[in-house]
Structure 1
Amino acid sequence: MKLSILQNVVTVICISAFLNVNAQETNAPQFGKGLFNLVGKDSTFSMKIGLRFQSLATSSWDASNGLSNHEASMLIRRSRLKFDGFAFSPKLKYKLELGLSNRDQSGASKYTHNAPRYILDAVLKWNFSGDFVLWFGQTKLPGNRERVISSANLQQVDRSLLNSRFTIDRDFGIQVRHHFNLTDTFLVKEIFSIAQGEGRNITTGNIGGHQYTTRVELLPFGNFASKGDYKGSDLKFEQNPKLAFGFAYDFNNHAAKTRSNQGSYMANNTGGFYTTNISTLFIDAMYKHKGFSFMAEYASRDAKDAFAKNSDGTALLDSDGDQMIVQIGNGLNLQTGYLLSKTVEVSARYTNISLDKSITGKGTENQYTLGLSKYIAGHSLKVQTDLSYTDIGFKTNQLLYRLQVDIHF
C-alpha cells in the first residue's frame, strides 16, 4: 500500500488541527457524541469527528466429540475514524468513515489490491426537496436491518450468521430516500438504490451490470426514540410500544460474485468472468417496549443459474477444486433482549441457515446464542459477552465464547 496507517492518521490529525485553528467554534460534546465539533466562521460547514474501537477475545472448541481442538485469539475487531456534518448548507450533509484495523481492511482481491481499503463510507446526502433526500457515494445498501445497524450499536458481540451469509453490505451508487405519514402516527419510509454491484472500494471497472435495491419500512406507531429502530436493545425504555416492519428486494444484474456484490469473483479460464442474475429478498421487524426488544429477519437468495461455468461451458472450479457456485438459500434470525436495569441486559438469538443442498452441497446450520451486556455509558462504552453453539450438520459442531469491550468517542 502506498500509505501506511500511521501516515493516514497523521494526515487526519493535521487536517483537524488546521480546521480547528480556522474554525469559529470548537465544542467538546458529551461522551459518545464525537471528539469535538467544528463550525465554520460563516456557518457554511460543520464537522463532527469521532473515534471508536472494539477489543475482542474469542475461544472456540469442536463440540461433536467433547470440547476438543481449542483455539483462542485476541484482536482489535474494529477501529474507526468518523467524520460527519454539513457543507455549504444544512441540506447537504456528508459522512466519511475510515476503517483502520486489519479486520476492517480484510477481503481485498486483485481488483482492490492496488489501493488502500480504508474507506468504509464516503457519501453525500442532499435534501433537495421536502422529504426527499438523495445519497451519492459509497455506503451501506438498504438491505437487511441488522446490517444497517452500526456495529457500535449491536445488542450482542457481533451480527448473526444470516448477515454474514446474505448481506449486500456496502457499494457505490445513488440512493433516493423519502418518508411520509399515512396518519398522525403511521410512518412510511421508502428507499431506492442503484449501485455498481461489486462491493466497496472497487478500483477496476464494472464487470457485470448494475445492482438495484428497493426498501419499504412501515412504522405504525411512529418513530422510535433516538432512531431506535436501527439500534440494538431498548436503552431508551420506550414507554409506548414501537414497531417497524421492513421489506427489501435486491436485484444484481449479471453479478460476478458468489453472494451478489459479496463473496468471491467467479473468474473463468479465459481471464473473464461468469455472471448471472442474483436476487435477494429481506423481510424484517423490530419491536421495543419498556426495556424489552425483539428483532426478526428473513433472507432468501436465488440466481438464474447458480453453477459457475467457464467460457466453454465446463464447470468453473475454485482454488480447492470444487465447483464454484452462487450461495443460494434462506436464512432466519430471531433475537430478543431484556434490560434487567438501565445498564445490564440479557439477550438470546436463534439463527437458521438453509442453503440449497442440491446446489451448494451444504446442509442446515442452526446457531444458538446467549448474551450478557453491561452498558456503562449506553452503546458508547460497554462490555459484552456471549456464548454460541452452532449445529452445523455437514461438519463438526462448534462452541464459541466471546468477550468484547467497545468504546466510542
Structure 2
Amino acid sequence: MKKLLLITSIYLLFTSLFYAQEDNIKTTSFGKGILDIVAKDSTWSMNFSARLQFLSTSSWNVAGDKIIDPSQEFLLRRSRFKFKGFVYDPKLTYKIELGLSNRDMSGVSEFTGNTPRYIMDGVVMWNFHKNLSLWVGQTKLPGNVERVISSGNLQLVDRSLLNSKFNIDRDIGMQVRNHFTVGKEFVIRQKFAMSQGEGRNVTTGNLGGHQYTTRVEFLPFGEFTSKGDYSGGDLKREKRPKLALASTYDFNNNAVRTRSNQGSYMANDLGFFETNIKTFFIDAMFKYKGFSFMGEYADRTASDAIAKNSDGTATGDIVQVGKAYNLQAGYLFKNNYEIATRYTQVKFDKAITGIDLQKQITLGVSKYIVGHKLKIQTDVSYLGAKGAADELMWRLQLDMHF
C-alpha cells in the first residue's frame, strides 16, 4: 500500500508540473531521462528518469565431479526513480534516488524506524569556489571504485565478493570534494567525508562515533571520456591510454556494526559494543581502444574485533576483519559485444571470524544495445570456499535505464 501511494504521488506531481509549465518541459532521447523540466524563470530544473533490472539466477553445488542441488530464481533486482537538477543557481545541484524493489528496500530494522528504506540518495551539492564542492545529505561514500560505479554501469551482472564483504556503501553526512591539474593533463582529485557511521536511512541518531573517509585519485593521462573511470568496460573506446590510480582510508570511530557502517549491530548488555574499525582500499582503472582493466585491494582491521559484554564475555558478534583483492578485465568488440572475466579472493582472519578463504572466478558476455542504458548481460561464476561446498552459478540480466 505504501509503495502504491508513493508511485501515485510521483505520478500526480509530474502531471501537475506538466500542465503548469508545459512550455518548459522537454522530452529527451532514450537513456537521458524521461523528462527535462526548467522553471519559466530558470530558478530550478529537474530531470526525471527510471531504471529496471530483471535478473535470473541458477546455481548448483559441486561435489567432486558431480553437480547437485540445483536452484533457480527470478528477481526484480533493482527498480528505481531518479531526480536531479539545480535549485536557484546552476552551481547548487541535487540528486534524489528512490529504490522500489524488495532488495532496494531491504534492511528494515528498529534503527530505520521499521519502515522500508526507499531513499538511496538524497544529496545537495554546492560548487562554492572554483573546483571545490560541498555535499550534504545521504549518498555513496568515496570508497572502492567498484562500489561507486553505478549498478547500472557494471561490466558484469553484479559486483564482486570484495565489494559485498568490504564496501562502505552509503551514509548520511557531509563531503568536500576538489580537483586540480598538474602540468597539461595530470589530474588529482581529493574527496573527504564525515558521516554518521551507521549506514543509510538510520532514524535513531548516532549510536557510536562518526565515520571519516578520505580518498585521493591520480589520473596521469588526463580525464577519461564521459567519466569512464566510473563506468564498467571501455564503451567510449579511448583513443589514448587512460589510467586512474586511487586510495581510500576509512576510519569509523566507535563503530557498532560488524562491517563498519554495514553488517549487523553488535548489541551487548549495556546497549552496543563499540570498536574502532579501519578500512583501506587501493584500486586502479585502465582503458584503451576497447580494452579495460580494473584492480582492487581491501583491508579491514579493528581495535577489538570480538564484541563483548561488560563482564568480558563474548556476545557472538564478530567484526569481519580481513583482506581481499579483485582483478577484472574485458574487451569490447566493434559490434558492441563484450567479453569480461574476473578473479576475486577474500581472506578473512580465520582465527577471529572462523571464515575460510573464498575464491570466485567469473566469465561474462554483454551485449550493449544502447550503451549501459539498454543491455543484456550473462555470466558464469565458480565459487570455491574452504570448509564448504563449491558452487556454480549462472546469471542472465536485462538492464533498462530511461
TM-score range with shorter-chain normalisation?
A: over 0.9
Q: In proportion to residue count, which structure has more strand?
A: 2
C-alpha distance in 1 between matches for 2:144 and 2:9: 35
AA aligned opposite 1:25: N
- Residue in 1 that maps onto 2:81: 81
State the alpha-carbon separation in 1 of the partners of residues 112 and 387 from structure 2: 33
Contact 1:287–1:295 under 8 Å retained in 2: yes
Match of 1:34 in 2: 33
Distance, in Å, in 2 between the alignment partners of 1:36 and 1:246 is 35
Aligned to 2:369: 376
* CA distance, structure 1, for counterparts of residue 110 and residue 349 of structure 2: 29
Tell me the secondary structure at the aligned position of residue 346 of structure 2: strand
The structural deviation recorded for 1:394 is 2.2
Structure 1 Cα separation of the partners of residues 276 and 253 of structure 2: 5
8 Å contact kept, 1:39–1:47: yes
* Counterpart in the other structure of 1:304: 303
Runs of 4+ more than 4 Å apart:
none
Q: What is the correspondence of 1:329-348 to structure 2 with a 5 Å cutoff?
A: 329-348=322-341
Asked if structure 2 preserves the Cα contact closer than 8 Å seen for 1:338 and 1:346, the reply is yes
What is the CA–CA distance in structure 2 between the aligned matches of 1:292 and 1:41, rounded to whole Å? 45
> Is the 8 Å Cα contact of residues 268 and 309 (structure 2) preserved in structure 1?
yes
Q: Deviations over 1:169-210 (max 9, x none)?
A: 000000000000011110000000000000000011211000
CA distance in 1, matches of 2:6, 2:93: 23
The answer for the alignment partner of 2:386 in structure 1 is 393
Partner of 1:321: none
Aligned to 2:2: 4
How far, CA to CA, are the matches of 2:114 and 2:306 in structure 1?
Answer: 30
Count of residue pairs the alignment pairs up: 400
Deviation at 1:113, TM superposition (A): 4.0
Paired AA for residue 287 in structure 2: K
Task: Determine the structure 2 residue equivalent to 1:123.
Answer: 123
CA contact (8 A) 1:22 1:40 kept: no
- CA drift at 1:20: 2.0
In 2: Cα distance, 1:20 partner to 1:242 partner:
42
Q: Please report how far the alpha carbon of residue 114 of structure 1 lies from its aligned counterpart in structure 2 after TM superposition.
A: 2.9
Instruction: Quote the Cα distance in structure 2 between the aligned partners of 1:97 and 1:266.
Output: 29
**Shift in Å, 1:22:** 2.6
Return the alpha-carbon distance in structure 2 between the equivalents of residues 73 and 113 of structure 1: 30
- Measure, in 2, the Cα distance between the counterparts of 1:72 and 1:113: 33
Name the amino acid aligned to 2:54.
Answer: S
Between the aligned partners of 2:148 and 2:17, the Cα distance in structure 1 is: 30
Aligned to 1:196: 196
TM-score (norm: length of structure 2): 0.98
Question: Deviation at 1:153?
Answer: 0.2
SS at 2:102's partner residue? Answer: coil
CA distance in 1, matches of 2:263, 2:220: 36
Q: Which amino acid aligns with 1:193?
A: A
Structure-1 separation of matches of 2:291 and 2:15: 43
Amino acid at match of 1:145: V
- 1:48 matched to which residue of 2? 47
> Which residue does the alignment assign to 1:283?
282
The 2-side partners of 1:169 and 1:283 are apart by 16
Superposition deviation, residue 245 in structure 1: 0.6
2:16 to 15, 18, 29: 18
Contact 1:235–1:342 (CA<8 Å) still a contact in 2? Answer: no
**% same residue:** 57
Distance 2:241 2:143 in 1: 24
Partners of 1:64 and 1:141 in 2: CA distance: 40
Structure 2 residue identity aligned to 1:122: G
Offset at 1:112? 1.2
Partner Cα separation in structure 2 for residue 114 and residue 166 of structure 1: 25
String of CA shifts for 1:320-342, please: whole Å, max 9, x gaps.
xxxx1100000100000001224
CA separation in 2, counterparts of 1:221 and 1:64? 48
AA at the equivalent of 1:92? L
Alignment-mate amino acid for residue 279 of structure 1: K
Q: CA deviation at 1:21?
A: 2.3
Match of 1:224 in 2: 224
In structure 2, C-alpha distance between the alignment counterparts of 1:115 and 1:183, rounded to whole Å: 51
C-alpha offsets along residues 56-114 of structure 1, whole Å, 9 cap, x if unaligned? 00000111341111111001000000000001110100000000000101122221143
Distance of 1:142 and 1:294 partners within structure 2: 20
**Partner Cα separation in structure 2 for residue 60 and residue 223 of structure 1:** 40
Whether the aligned pair in 1 keeps the contact of 2:109 and 2:115 (CA below 8 Å) is no
Q: Does the 8 Å contact 1:218/1:245 carry over to 2?
A: yes
> How far, CA to CA, are the matches of 1:299 and 1:157 in structure 2?
21
Secondary structure of the residue aligned to 2:106 is: coil
Contact 2:108 2:116 in 1 (8 A): no
Letter aligned with residue 189 of structure 1: R
Tell me how far 1:115 sits from its aligned partner.
3.0
CA RMSD, Structure 1 to Structure 2 (Å): 0.9
Say if 2:31 is the partner of 1:57: no
Cα separation, 2, equivalents of 1:363 and 1:113: 35
State TM-score, norm by structure 1: 0.97
**In the alignment, is the contact (CA less than 8 A) between 1:380 and 1:407 conserved in 2?**
yes
What secondary structure does 1:359 align onto? helix
Aligned mate of 1:352, from 333, 339, 345: 345
Task: Give the counterpart letter for 1:184 in structure 2.
Answer: K
